[in-house]
Amino acid sequence: AQSVTQLGSHVSVSEGALVLLRCNYSSSVPPYLFWYVQYPNQGLQLLLKYTSAATLVKGINGFEAEFKKSETSFHLTKPSAHMSDAAEYFCAVSKTGFQKLVFGTGTRLLVSP
Amino acid sequence: SAVISQKPSRDICQRGTSLTIQCQVDSQVTMMFWYRQQPGQSLTLIATANQGSEATYESGFVIDKFPISRPNLTFSTLTVSNMSPEDSSIYLCSVEGLAGGPETQYFGPGTRLLVL
């Protein structure tokens, strides 16, 4: 069965600092991996996805993630944090397309001025 | 990209009552899903809404409690029946199979439910 682990329920950074949100997955087959962001009182917005093409995936709002099979990781990064990046970030995995998503527990990103 | 809407956006209900949540997409999609996000928690899949047939429920969720309909390729409803305070959650629908976005689920804005 697929699962994801997000290390750190809260991550605090200063504005302009590097953002690194960690996600490790467990899957019996090459997975599809996703990062979603949830702003307060809103639904989930897709940031980026990995579906077995390029291992370095670029998403919206300057975020990117690298699929590392040897480390079973799909960490999310952004070179310079903005105040507007403060939100809850969820990593998710599915076995293939058109299948249910299994979500991690989420990481709340706090950005201080 | 497609627009996914949910109604109502939020509601406060009394225990023992039922609430039906609607999910509408402005284009046809292959798959529609319903998720629950309990306070401070992650998302858990309730069921896959199948067009023209009964929904497929995940372990721990039953049709009597969460009846689902999907009469066509753009619309689905989720009913939360005989509600208790433990049903207070955000309920989100997601869709997959949009043109230009296969293998990706897109989410509606959610319905925030508080049961007293």
Distances (CA, A) of B70 to A80, B5, B38, B51: 43, 15, 24, 5
Confidence of residue B76 (pLDDT cuts 50, 70, 90): very high
Q: Are B97 and A98 inside 8 Å of each other by CB?
A: yes
Sort strands B31-37 and A56-58 into parallel, antiparallel or unpaired: unpaired
Minimal C-alpha gap between A63 and chain B (Å): 18
pLDDT over 90 percentage in chain B: 76
Q: How many residues appear in chain A?
A: 113
pLDDT over 70 percentage in chain A: 96
> How many angstroms separate the CA atoms of A36 and A45, rounded?
5
Confidence of residue B51 (pLDDT cuts 50, 70, 90): confident
Give the 3-state secondary structure of residue B79: strand
Element (H, E) at B106: strand B101-107
**Beta-carbon-side half-sphere exposure of residue A58 (alpha carbons within 13 Å):** 3
Q: Which residues of A touch B48 (CB under 8 A)?
A: 100
Through-space distance between the first and last CA atoms of chain A, rounded to whole angstroms: 41
Q: Which residues of A touch B112 (CB under 8 A)?
A: 41
Minimal C-alpha gap between A29 and chain B (Å): 16
E-strand ranges in chain A read 3-5, 10-14, 19-21, 24-26, 32-38, 44-50, 56-58, 64-68, 73-78, 87-94, 102-103, 107-112
Task: Kindly report, residue by residue over A76-91, the tens digit of the pLDDT.
Answer: 999 999 999 999 999 9
Sort strands A3-5 and B43-49 into parallel, antiparallel or unpaired: unpaired
Q: Which residues of B touch A36 (CB under 8 A)?
A: 107
Distances (CA, A) of B58 to A38, A101, A106, B19, B74: 23, 12, 21, 20, 22
Q: Are A32 and B103 inside 8 Å of each other by CB?
A: yes
- Indicate whether A24 pLDDT > 80: yes
Confidence of residue B20 (pLDDT cuts 50, 70, 90): very high
Minimal C-alpha gap between A47 and chain B (Å): 11
Q: Which residues of B touch A44 (CB under 8 A)?
A: 43, 92, 94, 107
HEC states along B9-34? Answer: CEEEECCCCCEEEEEEECCCCCEEEE
Give the 3-state secondary structure of residue A97: coil
Report H helices in A7-108: none
Q: What is the pLDDT of residue B101?
A: 61
> How many angstroms separate the CA atoms of A68 and A73, rounded?
5
Does A26 lie at the interface with B, CB-CB under 8 angstroms?
A: no
Q: What is the pLDDT of residue A27?
A: 76
- A-B Cβ pairs (cutoff 8 Å, strict): 51
Q: Which residues of A touch B42 (CB under 8 A)?
A: 90, 103-106
